[in-house]
Structure formats: structure tokens, C-alpha cells
Amino acid sequence: MAKGFVCIQVERCKGCGFCVEFCPTRVLALSSAFNSKGYHPPHVVNGEKCSGCDLCGIYCPDFAIFGWKARASEGAAHAG
Amino acid sequence: MTAVVETPVINPVEPFLRMDRMPHIWCPGCGIGTTVNCFARALIESKADPEKLAVVSGIGCTGRVAGYLHVDSFHTTHGRAIPFATGLKLANPSLQVVVYSGDGDLFAIGGNHLIHAARRNIDLKVICVNNFIYAMTGGQTAPTTPEPATTTTAPYGSYEPAFNLPYLTESAGATYVARWTTYHVRQLTRSIVEMLQKKGFCLIEVLSPCPTLYQRRNRLGDALETMKYYKERSKTRHGAPTSEVGLTMQGDIVVGKFVDRDRPDYLESMRRRLAEQLGDKFAGVGVLA
């Protein structure tokens, strides 16, 4: 059961990889897909490990990702 | 039981940004976006009134910050962010004036303005993003370029000693001096919150990667590798003597809060002096009716 979630706005991403590298629970990986500008945005690979710490959001230079903590009732319904 | 998931529809920093101007012009991996992110989060954390905040930028990559922040912002001429900000502060002392600019703008072209603002202790909050180079004009040697980095104007490597920004600012009289890197996001955010509550001339130096010009030309890898270098080689030493915190190329980085002291600021000194000299005739200076 995930304690938090991330929201990725793929089109804003420039593929720097900061969120992937500095995620403390290794939730993210760079995807092999492209966005319309030709960058590889991150995608969620370990959604259940996300703690919602929002460190990805604070590192992102392009404001393309953010995380938030789940409230007690909503964890099970939205894992990943 | 199906729980309803309330997804926050927007990024928490979006209310502080002009989203119609995104995507910004900064290169992939440039750290300036991260510092803006920290600044916006510091504004959320400090519950600062955006109506009472003005951001002044000079010219350069970091100079673009004023255009992307959704607060009263001012994009000024090259090196003159501090004089414009000084005027703003003196005309309306109730404003919180933040100067957000790069090393080339604040310490090279505007170097003299900066040391005099620090000497007078004008209540300005300066965030200096240091990427070791004049990035927007093509990567020329700046006063912060460490030896022996290669730049477009130093193809055989720079041979000038670089400025030690915290040392310079402390000597000139600043009340708050700190240094962080774009790796230290939480510490940087906390430091900005602390600086916004401080009175007097404050400076935070933020080291940032410039993957397109500095790192690429010096074969230091991409921005991510620079971030890993910041992570490995940074040592937090609060209160370290600023004379010992100079930077070398790819050497250790001393980060932390170096100076936190109190001195009467410019407006306070002016009011005290004039009240002493003029007595009852003194009507008050810099107080908006």
C-alpha cells in the first residue's frame, strides 16, 4: 500500500534525471518513450514504495513532477 | 469500501509561477529551475504575503527568474539589480525586496553595487546562483571561474584567481551569508525562509550546474554527474570562517550558514541620525503615509 503518489506532467519534462536519481525509495525510472520535445520523461516503476515525500517535486527544475502524501483512507485504492 | 482519492490538480509551486511562460528557457539539467522551486516552496513555508514581495533580477540566465515568478518582479539592466532594488526598498520600506541574479551580474558587472549595498546594510535579500561562468553570452570567463577551467575566452584554461563570494560579502558587512548547492534543496529552502525573516543585507550563494557550457566544455559530464559531485564533495560547516570557504575546480565544497549577525540597517541608521539632528522637525523618512 503506497503512502504517497507522484504526478508527472510529461510534456514539461526535459529529462535531466534528477527525480530518478534522488528519489529516496527509487520509485521512478526514465522511460524509453519520448515526449513531444524528444526528451525521455520519468515513469513510475515502484509505485507502492512511494512515500509522498515530494523530494522529486522540489528537485525538478522544470516543475514537471510533484508528490503528495496519501491520507489514511485512500492508500489502497490508488497504489501506483 | 472505495476510497475517493483527492489528487492535487496542480503542482504546489504553480501559484507562484507564470505558467503561461513555461517551458522556461533554461537548458535541460540547469539548476536555476531547482533554485526557483526552492524559492517558491520557501514562500509557501514562510507564509510571506506575495503582495508585499518584489523580486528584482539583472541580466543573464538567472536574470530570467523575474519573468517567471508570479509576484511583482522587475527585470533590470545588466549588473544594476541592486541599485534598482535599493530604490524600491527606500521608496517603499514595507516591501520585502529579493534580488535574484547570477554571479556574473551581481559580482562582476554589479560588483561595486553589491559591496556598497552590503556596507550600508540595505535590507535586501540576495540569492546569487553561481554557475562559474557567463552562461547566457556563451560561456566566457567570469570572476567566479575557478582555475584552471576552460571557457570560451580561456581556451588554455583560466589562470585568474576566483572570487570567494561569502568572504567578499561578509567583509563588506552583510548580516547573513550562506552557501548551498542545487543538491541541498531542503537546506536551501530552510535558509531562504530564515533569510526572509532577517533584517539587513543577506546573501545566499547557490552553486548550480551549467551542463551546456561549463560542464561540457570542461568534460565534467552532465548535470546529474555534477549533482552527484555536489553530494559527495560537499561538507556542511555552519559558522565556518568565510576566508576558508573558497572554491577550487572539482574540489571540496564547504556549504552551510557562515554568517548570521545583527547590525542596524540603512533605514534605521538614517532615521536615528536625522531624529537626533532634527529633533521635533523630523517628520520621518521612508514612511509611507
Pairing, β A65-69 against β A4-8: antiparallel
Q: Measured between CB atoms, which of B8, B29, B36 is closest to A16?
A: B29
Secondary element (H or E) of residue B92: none
- Beta bridge partners, B254, equal B235
Q: What is the pLDDT of residue B276?
A: 87
Residues B243-268 as b or e (16 or more Cβ within 10 Å = b): eebbbebeeebbbbbbbeeeeebbbe
Q: Nine-digit cell at B101?
A: 541574479
Rounded Cα–Cα distance for residues B156 and B67 (Å) = 36
Q: What is the pLDDT of residue B130?
A: 93
DSSP B151-184: BTTBTT---SPPP-HHHHHHHHT-SEEEEEETT-
Domain of residue B78, residue span: 14-264
Q: Which amino acid is at B65?
A: V
Evaluate if residue A57 carries a pLDDT over 60.
yes
> Domain map of chain A by residue range?
4-70
| B23/chain A closest Cα distance in angstroms | 6
Query: Around Cβ A53, how many Cβ atoms within 10 Å?
Result: 19
Q: Please name the residue that has the C-alpha cell 529551475.
A: B33
Q: Give contacts of B 205-234 with A, CB under 8 A.
A: 223-224, 227-228
pLDDT values of chain B reduced to their tens digit, one per residue, 289 residues: 444 455 667 888 888 999 898 889 999 999 999 999 999 999 999 988 888 999 999 999 999 999 999 999 999 999 999 999 999 999 998 899 999 999 999 999 999 999 999 999 999 999 999 999 999 999 999 999 998 999 999 999 999 999 999 999 999 999 999 999 999 999 999 999 999 999 999 999 999 999 999 999 999 889 999 999 999 999 999 999 999 998 888 889 999 999 999 999 998 888 888 888 888 787 766 554 3
**Would you say residue B233 lies in a domain?**
yes
pLDDT: which is higher, B1 or A71 = A71
Evaluate if residue A73 carries a pLDDT over 70.
no
Distances (CA, A) of A75 to A43, A70, B2, B86: 19, 6, 10, 50
DSSP B186-229: HHHHHHHHHHHT--S-EEEEEE---IIIIIHHTT---HHHHHHH
**Would you say residue B46 lies in a domain?**
yes
Chain B contact set for A9 (CB, 8 A): 11
Interface test with A, best of B22, B32, B70, B129 (most A CBs within 10 A): B22
Q: What is the pLDDT of residue B3?
A: 45
- How many domains in chain B? 1
Q: Measured between CB atoms, which of B3, B23, B38 is closest to A62?
A: B23
Q: What is the pLDDT of residue A77?
A: 45
Rounded Cα–Cα distance for residues B120 and B123 (Å) = 9
CA B23 centroid distance within chain: 22
Chain B contact set for A12 (CB, 8 A): 22-23
Rounded Cα–Cα distance for residues B53 and B5 (Å) = 35
| A36/chain B closest Cα distance in angstroms | 13
Beta carbons of A77 and B23 less than 8 Å apart: no
Pick the CATH number of A4-70 from 3.30.450.20, 3.30.70.20, 3.40.50.2300, 1.10.630.10: 3.30.70.20
Q: Nine-digit cell at A70?
A: 496519501
Considering all CA atoms of chain A, what is the largest pairwise distance in Å, rounded to the nearest integer? 38
| A73/chain B closest Cα distance in angstroms | 6
pLDDT tens track for B68-107? 999 999 999 999 999 999 999 999 988 999 999 999 999 9
| B260/chain A closest Cα distance in angstroms | 26
pLDDT tens track for B143-178? 999 989 999 999 999 999 999 999 999 999 999 999
Rounded Cα–Cα distance for residues B257 and B239 (Å) = 6
Quickly state the pLDDT bin for A74 (edges 50, 70, 90): low
Of B221, B277, B267, nearest in space to B122 by CA? B267
Distances (CA, A) of B204 to B48, B58, B120: 18, 16, 18
Q: Rounded to 5 degrees, what are φ and ψ at B228?
A: -65, -35
Of B127, B128, B125, nearest in space to B143 by CA? B128
Q: Nine-digit cell at B237?
A: 560547516
Residues B188-211 as b or e (16 or more Cβ within 10 Å = b): bbbbbbbbbeeebbbbbbbbbbbb
Q: Give contacts of A 51-80 with B, CB under 8 A.
A: 55, 57-63, 66, 68, 70-71, 73-78
How many pairs of residues across A and B have Cβ atoms under 8 Å apart?
Answer: 88
User: Which residues neighbour B29 within 8 Å (Cβ) at sequence distance 6 or greater?
Assistant: A14, A16, A17, A18, A61, B209, B211, B222, B223, B224
Give the domain CATH number at B252.
3.40.50.970
Q: Measured between CB atoms, which of B2, B185, B228 is closest to A58?
A: B185
Evaluate if residue A76 carries a pLDDT over 50.
no
